[in-house]
Structure 1
Amino acid sequence: MSDNKRYSEDPSLFADVEGEQEEWVSKSELKRQANERQKLGQTLVDLTRANLDTIPMDDDVAEAVSQARTINRKKDGFRRQLQFIGKLLRGRDVSDIEDALARLNNSHQASNAAFHAIEQARDEVVQQGDGAIQSLLEAYPTLERQKLRQYHRQVKKEREKNGPPKAYRELFQYLKEHMPNG
């Protein structure tokens, strides 16, 4: 019997046809991978329809995600549907899906950064006046000095009268139209 046991533990017995050994994966690692795939499925379900259309998925996964989007999230069926999506994703190469999600995330971060840059430029024009206007004109020659100065004066008047920030918003829109990535 000891000989049988020795042979059954021999790793060469687990070699596949090409002579390569299969990689042993622990049960804990399998569970971690399953949870990662399920989280990936949750991310897909949470995307907007427009963003979801940009993700490369096969028909089975796309159908499962579509069904999950129609299920009430407070019900147990939603949890089971997410598990099913995770199961489908475990059997597939998800590198294309992960790449597409990374591109979406990067484009979202870039648009947020552009938005904050426009907000900062607006606030500088309002607070600093001509100095900020000059530096903006150097960076973005398509802007008009006269228009920026006009917005600056209007915002100051609005703040003195405690009126609604109409010119403040208009200045933002003007900068958004003329600054790249805005």
Structure 2
Amino acid sequence: MNRPDPNRVIEERPSKSQRKRDSTALQDIGAELGELSKERLAKVPMSERLRDAMEELLRVTKHEARRRQLQYIGKLMRDEDVAPIREALDALAGVSRAEIARQHKLENLRERLLEDEAVLGEIASEFPDADLQHLRNLRRNALKEREASKPPRSYRELFKVLRALSQPGRAAEDEDGDFEDEIEDE
């Protein structure tokens, strides 16, 4: 009788089903990348081969051709480090922990500014290119809107300006309205 040696370590390969799930997951990430604009896609770290394949996906319009291109992208992504790509996608979607923490910090800064105008000095030291007069006007208008129970237009605009200041590369995107407004708790 041949009994297996209990001390022998058996290296198991992933099952065919697991490999298929992994491949489909990579294709799904490729599909998410394919939905991004060229400007946002340029911000995602990836190899040149994958970038070229993504640009080709943006040009392809026929259903079957897109499906084949997504399969090819999934194949190329097997050689990629997917973690930085996933992080970049999460940051663009606003769901990464760092992005959420940044948004909370900006929301707190906005609230502190509404409570005390002296916070403008802190903003000026942290963001030297800040337009303090514009921020002062937005603060004043936000307070008036709050008192009159009007829609918080200036309140939201204040957040957008602070967000643009905290990440200058996103200032143009904020003006276009590509990012969703944060959920107001009022």
Q: Give the letter aligned to residue 88 of structure 2.
A: L
1:168 aligns to 2:152 (yes or no): no
Aligned equivalents of 2:157, 2:41: Cα separation in 1: 33
Structure with the greater relative contact order (CA < 8 A, sep ≥ 6): 1 or 2?
1
Counterpart of 1:122 in structure 2 is 110
Q: 1:70: how far off?
A: 5.5
Counterpart of 2:146 in structure 1 is 159
Unaligned residue ranges in structure 2 (runs of 5+): 1-9, 171-186
Counterpart of 2:181 in structure 1 is none
Secondary structure of the corresponding residue to residue 15 of structure 2: helix
Aligned equivalents of 1:131, 1:104: Cα separation in 2: 35
Quick check: which one's helix share is greater? 1
Is the 1:137–1:145 Cα contact (8 Å) retained in structure 2?
Answer: yes
Q: Give the letter aligned to residue 119 of structure 1.
A: E
1:104 aligns to 2:91 (yes or no): no
Q: How does 1:66-85 map to 2 (within 5 A)?
A: 71=63, 85=71
Q: 1:95 aligns with which of 58, 61, 79?
A: 79
Q: 1:94: how far off?
A: 1.8
Q: How does 1:28-43 map to 2 (within 5 A)?
A: 29-43=15-29
Unaligned residue ranges in structure 1 (runs of 5+): 1-22, 73-77
After superposition, the Cα gap between the structure-2 partners of 1:24 and 1:180, relative to the gap in structure 1 and judged at 3 Å, is closer
1:45 aligns to 2:28 (yes or no): no
Structure-1-length-normalised TM-score: 0.53
RMSD: 4.5
Determine which structure has more spread, i.e. the larger CA radius of gyration. Answer: 1
Structure-2-length-normalised TM-score: 0.52
Aligned equivalents of 1:112, 1:142: Cα separation in 2: 24
